[in-house]
């Protein structure tokens, strides 16, 4: 690692550590000799992952955490402070998926997805940044990095992606603001945002971890939600870039102090089109311009009469 990050040793805090990017980041952190605080809402996945990371010889603090809970995140921060001190790498990565037409989301859908994907990141930023700034102040050589997992859905507004687009835009805005705010007060703590496209991580099956009190009031998913689920499952499971590769991109970006982290640089063309829409200004471009058959199929499915 360059001067921007720890060459070996250091402390990592990773949410969503039981699978996907989180688990892969734990593996790389351990290989770099970092002690790892692992948080996940799914106990069995967390226990298995923690055992694997412990076997590498680094210290592991594993805690079951629902990142949407301020109390549980506070308990995590307190445990990290007590066991390890300030973390050098905070990966606010836990996330859940949700699609469908935006007006069809129930109140519980909004509360669940905003709670995990947006407030989960906010709690991480709120609780760990002050610890990192204090460590930086105490040691001029100390370096820290905060990486927030957003999505290409934080830079694009694909149709039928509902609340997911909204919260991921929020994570990008939070991360860019964090970058600017940190630059005002320190040269030792750095912010980054991860914007993956479709990568096989298990996020398409995140409904499995939905808490009972966030259960939907609706009897069953709407047609648009079922379609979104099917499209997401297909796109995610057929992704050619692996979660391990994306985790490596995260560490590369920290080494180089690069803010934006992409899994699929080719998708940036879509962001350019969106910005041109805004700057021209013109109405939002057809998201299916390059694949009209997909748009036709989706429209036909949504307009079909029962």
Q: Which domains are assigned to the chain?
A: 11-266 (3.40.50.720)
Q: 101's torsion region: left (phi>0), alpha (psi -120 to 50) or beta?
A: beta
Spatial separation of the C-alpha atoms in residues 258 and 95, rounded to whole Å: 22
At 236, list the tokens: 């995610």
- Cis peptide preceding 90, ω within 30 of 0: no
Lowest-pLDDT choice from 4-18, 26-40, 115-129: 4-18
- In 3-state terms, what secondary structure has residue 42? coil
Do 4 and 255 touch, CB atoms closer than 8 A?
Answer: yes
Give 7's pLDDT tier (boundaries 50, 70, 90). very low
Confidence check: pLDDT of 72 > 80: yes
Give 214's pLDDT tier (boundaries 50, 70, 90). low
Give pLDDT tens digits for 176-208: 999 999 999 999 999 999 999 875 555 445 555
Give pLDDT tens digits for 237-294: 667 788 999 999 999 999 999 999 999 888 899 999 999 999 999 999 999 888 899 8
pTM for the full predicted model: 0.91
* Percentage of the chain exceeding pLDDT 90: 74
């Amino acid at each position: 690692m360059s001067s921007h990050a720890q060459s070996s040793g250091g402390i990592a805090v990773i949410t969503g550590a039981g699978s996907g990017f989180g688990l892969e980041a734990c593996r790389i952190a351990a290989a770099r000799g970092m002690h790892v605080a692992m948080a996940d809402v799914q106990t069995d996945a967390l226990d298995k992952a923690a055992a694997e990371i412990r076997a590498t010889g680094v210290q592991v603090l594993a805690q079951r955490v629902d990142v949407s809970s301020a109390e549980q995140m506070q308990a995590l921060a307190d445990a990290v402070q007590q066991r390890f001190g300030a973390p050098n790498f905070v990966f606010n990565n836990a996330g859940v998926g949700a699609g469908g037409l935006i007006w069809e989301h129930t109140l519980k859908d909004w509360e669940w997805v905003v709670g995990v994907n947006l407030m989960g990141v906010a709690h991480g930023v709120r609780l760990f940044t002050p610890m990192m700034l204090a460590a930086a102040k105490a040691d001029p050589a100390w370096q820290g990095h905060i990486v927030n997992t957003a999505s290409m859905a934080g830079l694009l507004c694909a149709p039928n992606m509902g609340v997911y687009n909204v919260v991921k835009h929020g994570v990008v805005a939070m991360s860019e603001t964090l970058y600017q705010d940190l630059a005002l007060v320190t040269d030792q703590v750095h912010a980054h945002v991860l914007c993956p496209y479709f990568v096989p991580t298990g996020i398409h099956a995140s409904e499995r971890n939905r808490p009972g009190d966030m259960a939907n009031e609706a009897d069953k998913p709407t047609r648009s939600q079922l379609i979104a689920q099917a499209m997401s499952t297909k796109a995610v499971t057929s992704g050619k870039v692996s979660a391990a590769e994306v985790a490596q991109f995260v560490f590369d970006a920290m080494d180089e102090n690069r803010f934006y982290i992409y899994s699929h640089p080719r998708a940036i063309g879509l962001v350019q089109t969106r910005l041109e829409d805004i700057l021209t200004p013109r109405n939002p471009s057809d998201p299916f311009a390059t694949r009209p058959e997909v748009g036709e199929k989706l429209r036909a499915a949504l307009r079909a009469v029962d």
